[in-house]
Amino acid sequence: MKYNPINPALFITNRKRFVKEMLPNSIAVFVSNDEWPYNGDALHPFKQNSNIIWLSGIPQEQTMVILFPDCPDPKYREVLVLTRPNELKEKWDGKRFRAKEAIEISGMATIVWLDTLEPLLQSWIHLADHIYLDSNENDRKATEIRSHEYRFLDKIKSAYPLHQYHRSAKILKKLRAIKTPYEIELVQHAIDITGKTFERLMKFIRPGVHEYEIEAEIWHSFLQNRASGPAYHSIIASGDNARTLHYISNNAVCKSGDLVLMDFGAEYAHYCADLTRTVPVSGKFTPRQKQVYNACLHLHNYAKSLLKPGITIVDYTDKVGKEATREFIKIGLLTKAAVKNEDPEQPLYRKYLYHGISHHLGLDVHDLGTRTAPIQGGMLFTVEPGIYIEEEHMGVRIENNCWITKNGPVDLMKKIPITVDEIERCMKHSK
């Protein structure tokens, strides 16, 4: 692990929050992600199930977390299951956690080795009436692969058909959406690394630089500052490439007179930052670029002002859409006459702003959380309006990360340059 040790109080608190939502005499079992092969004997780098991280902080494969708060034996009310260290395997793949190390990370006092688990788990389940099992209920899920948590679910339901089964995901969607101060501290660290990296990029970008060279600078800066790496594929989109929302080819040359849209964020201690800035390759915005950029910045600040407890994402998006319509009229993209006759189901502003304005952020860049219930204090959102103009081969997006409090949003990226003047001043040094 590249990051500094995490306070185990984070995971202790999270387990207490989950157990509080469980029915009496229930057991909850969580399993790791798969180790995915890609060719021959090679594996993709292992990425832990976010729920295992949230509950224990253990990033190692073949880990399980078992919560049985009403177990008659107090020793087994919280159990961390690990693969037993193997000397030969460690010579090839590196050291695995010893029990003492895992206890220090997770704050869980009981460690059970995976090869001894089966009879113990059977006895615990026989004592329980209800079983909580994990599943991937992210609204954006789109895969045909039946992953480990679903195969484990099938196995347990087949072996114990008469128990009452419940969805851990329903609880986790509610709990993980509300970030504790421990979590915000880690997110802020990821953001600080990302902000430092952006300032480095502004000194590096110039006409003739390839998008992939900018991406390389991001990797360098992230790893140099103890991030695990990017939280997601970095988008480095110059010129017309910026109109492709998930552009990750990053192989074009940045040309004088163009803008370059950069959507990137560090992952630190498994928590994600998500920043977007759009800057002029030559270091100075043209009058038209400045006009469009300032319109986008206005939408960004307007959207941020709306993110308060009580509003739903649906209402929030509708309000931002109406403000976008007014801004697009001002900068010549729409006319009042056309807007007056638009189809309310197909608002005209969507031609130039065709994505959502915010999403939950945390352990996953598209983190768990509802999009229909009212926003609550403690939630963490991106704020990322954009303006994409096909006729002008231009795309602008501006994104910050905001923690919602009872008094409104706290912009965790407020120290990162964002205005035209701030960006141009920082980019003077790149010449």
All CATH 3.40.350.10 domain ranges in the chain, comma separated: 9-174
Residue count of the chain, please give it: 431
* Cβ atoms of residues 225 and 194 within 8 Å: no
Instruction: State the SS3 of 302-343.
Output: HHHHHCCCCCCHHHHHHHHHHHHHHHHHHCCCCCHHHHHCCC
Class of the CATH domain delimited by 181-430: alpha beta
Check: CATH 3.40.350.10 for 9-174? yes
Q: Residue-wise pLDDT tens for the chain (431 aa)?
A: 899 999 999 999 999 999 999 999 999 999 999 999 889 889 999 999 999 999 999 999 999 999 999 999 999 999 999 999 998 888 888 999 999 999 999 999 999 999 999 999 999 999 999 999 999 887 777 777 889 999 999 999 999 999 999 999 999 999 999 999 999 999 999 999 999 999 999 999 999 999 999 999 999 999 999 999 999 999 999 999 999 999 999 999 999 999 999 999 999 999 999 999 999 999 999 999 999 999 999 999 999 999 999 999 999 999 999 999 999 999 999 999 999 999 999 999 999 999 999 999 999 999 999 888 999 999 999 999 999 999 999 999 999 999 999 888 999 999 999 999 999 999 985 44
Angle at 297 between CA 292 and CA 299, to 5 degrees: 100
All CATH 3.90.230.10 domain ranges in the chain, comma separated: 181-430
Count CB neighbours of 427 within 10 A. 23
